[in-house]
Amino acid sequence: MILLLQYTLIFASVLMLVALGGCFSERSGVINIGLEGTMVIGALGGALVMKYMPPEAGAFAVVALTVLASALLGMVFSLFLAVAAISFKADQTIIGTAMNMLATAGATVAVKAINTAASGGHDVSSDIAYTYTKDLFIVRFGEFEFNWFMLIAFVCLIISYIALYKTRFGLRLRSCGEHPQASASVGINVFKMRYAGVLISGLLAGLGGIVYITAGVSVWKFEYGVAGFGFLAMAVMIFGAWHPMRIALAALLFGFCRALGNVYSGLDLMTALNIPGVVYNMLPYIISLVVLAFTSKKSRAPKAAGLIYDKGSR
């Protein structure tokens, strides 16, 4: 049970961070299909820091720089969506899909190039090892392992709620996702607000990427991507009705379902019930389909999400 709780919290942290990122973007009026790719790029930045930072630098420095690198690379990568969709008015769905394909391929090529150069031209693997630094993110309380990213995710949740519902910035951001023309008529710069929403989305998705790759393994092959967690986070966002607190509850549900696959695969209980382990791994994705089938009609997305803003139209 302790292991199940541990995995539930860490997977919920991943889903919550990425879903909150999607929430900021869609609240501003931009659909971010590229969350999956942004996670990969954020994971790449954090993994490179963990690989090359010496242990002598200290735990705080390694953790801080890892978080910073993941967030910054996620923001930079999200600029592809912001520039194309906001400035050049390209189709948001197509841009997001292209970002997902570009991220995994680009990260794989970059890591292979780094490993090949480091080994004198012989190693062409696409993995990054960060064994010794992974322990810096963990504090053990008996059998329970507390990951500092759990705390970071909780802090991001609180900040997201306050930013969206208790500040002038949040009010303006939400208004741009509902009625951008009306927002512009009272002096709000819709382009700037949408850029802000997409950049915040990239920051949070980048953090979600590094949390994902440090959750279960000490070596990560980037050609594997993030196993659909970006799309699963979008389901969490929709199920959570684009509201931070509801997103947190939805992330716990989906995180629990995902944790079942890690904890109960291969146990005697599985053999006794004659249930293939792959069923537990499929559970969060099956639940996402069922949940969206029953809730998508009732869920209310921001009215202007996905619509190109033209300040000349009314």
Residue of 5 and 260 predicted with greater confidence: 5
pLDDT value for 275: 64
Q: Is the residue at 249 inside a domain?
A: no
Q: Is the residue at 252 inside a domain?
A: no
**Over pLDDT 70: what percentage of the chain?**
88
Q: Is the residue at 154 inside a domain?
A: yes
pLDDT value for 173: 97
Q: Is the residue at 308 inside a domain?
A: no
pLDDT above 60: residue 273? no
Q: Is the residue at 297 inside a domain?
A: no
Q: Is the residue at 24 inside a domain?
A: yes
Counted domains in the chain: 1
pLDDT tens digits, residue range 282-312? 777 788 788 778 776 777 889 999 998 877 6
pLDDT tens digits, residue range 131-175? 656 677 788 888 888 888 899 999 999 999 999 999 999 999 999
pLDDT tens digits, residue range 40-76? 999 999 988 888 887 677 778 888 999 999 999 999 9
Q: Is the residue at 255 inside a domain?
A: no
Q: What would you report as the CA-atom Rg of the chain, rounded to the nearest whole angstrom?
A: 20
**Over pLDDT 90: what percentage of the chain?**
55
Strand partners, 140: 145
Q: Is the residue at 208 inside a domain?
A: yes
In the structure, what pLDDT confidence band is assigned to residue 220 with cuts at 50, 70 and 90? confident
Residue 42 sits in which domain range?
A: 2-230
